[in-house]
C-alpha cells in the first residue's frame, strides 16, 4: 500500500525543494490535484502548516477537497504531508525526498496509505487500478517539475 518514483533533475536540491513545497503551484504539475491553498493563516511550508488540495481523481472525477498537514519540512532534504479523511484520520502520506548527486538531484515522490481495515479493503478491491495510476501520476508530476527546474530562465 505504498510506492515511489524517482527522477533525476539537473538542479540543486534546494531549488527543487522550493518548487515542491510551494503547494499553491501543484496544479501546474499534478495530473489530479489541480489547486491547493494554505489554511489557518499559513503562507508557506513549515511543520504543522495545513493546506487543502482540490483533487479531480484520475483526471475525470470525482472532484473533492482534501485536508493536508505538513509533517516534515527540511529544505533540500524532505517535504512530507499527511492527507486526512473523515474524523481527521490520516489516510495517506505523501513525501518528496532529495538526494544530491554529482550531476543533479534524485527526487523521489512516494505515497503510503494508512494501514486500516477500510484502506486494506479498498486496496484489495481497487488497488490493481489505483496503484498504477498513482505511479503514473507521480512520474508525470516529477517530469513536469523537472521541465521547470531545468529550463533556462531568469
Q: Which residues of 19-41 are buried (b: 16+ CB within 10 A; e: fewer)?
A: bbbebebbeebbbbbebbeeeee
Q: Which domains does the chain have, with CATH numbers?
A: 2-150 (3.30.530.20)
Residue pLDDT, tens place only, 86-136: 888 999 999 999 999 988 999 999 999 999 998 899 888 988 888 899 999
Which has the closest alpha carbon to 85: 53, 61, 59? 53
Averaged pLDDT score across all residues of the chain: 94
User: Is 40 in a helix, a strand, or coil?
Assistant: coil
28 pLDDT exceeds 80?
yes
pLDDT at residue 154, rounded to an integer: 63
* φ, ψ dihedrals at 135, nearest 5°: -65, -45
Predicted TM-score of the model (pTM):
0.94
- Strand 2-9 with 63-74, pairing: unpaired
Q: Once rounded to an integer, what is the mean pLDDT over residues 4-20?
A: 97
- Residue ranges of E strands in the chain: 2-9, 33-38, 50-56, 63-74, 78-84, 90-101, 104-113
User: Is 80 in a helix, a strand, or coil?
Assistant: strand
Q: Once rounded to an integer, what is the mean pLDDT over residues 18-46?
A: 97
Residue pLDDT, tens place only, 62-93: 899 999 999 999 999 999 999 998 888 999 99
Amino acid at each position: 500500500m505504498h510506492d515511489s518514483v524517482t527522477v533525476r533533475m539537473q538542479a540543486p536540491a534546494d531549488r527543487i525543494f522550493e518548487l515542491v513545497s510551494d503547494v499553491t503551484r501543484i496544479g501546474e504539475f499534478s495530473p489530479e490535484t489541480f489547486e491547493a491553498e494554505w489554511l489557518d493563516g499559513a503562507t508557506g511550508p513549515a511543520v504543522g502548516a495545513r493546506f487543502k488540495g482540490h483533487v479531480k481523481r484520475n483526471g475525470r472525477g470525482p472532484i473533492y477537497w482534501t485536508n493536508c498537514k505538513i509533517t516534515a519540512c527540511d529544505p533540500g532534504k524532505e517535504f512530507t504531508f499527511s492527507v486526512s479523511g473523515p474524523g481527521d484520520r490520516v489516510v495517506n502520506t505523501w513525501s518528496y525526498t532529495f538526494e544530491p548527486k554529482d550531476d543533479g538531484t534524485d527526487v523521489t515522490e512516494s505515497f503510503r496509505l494508512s494501514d486500516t481495515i477500510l484502506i486494506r479493503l479498498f486496496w484489495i478491491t481497487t488497488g490493481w487500478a489505483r496503484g498504477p495510476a498513482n505511479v503514473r501520476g507521480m512520474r508525470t508530476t516529477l517530469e513536469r517539475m523537472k521541465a521547470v527546474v531545468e529550463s533556462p530562465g531568469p
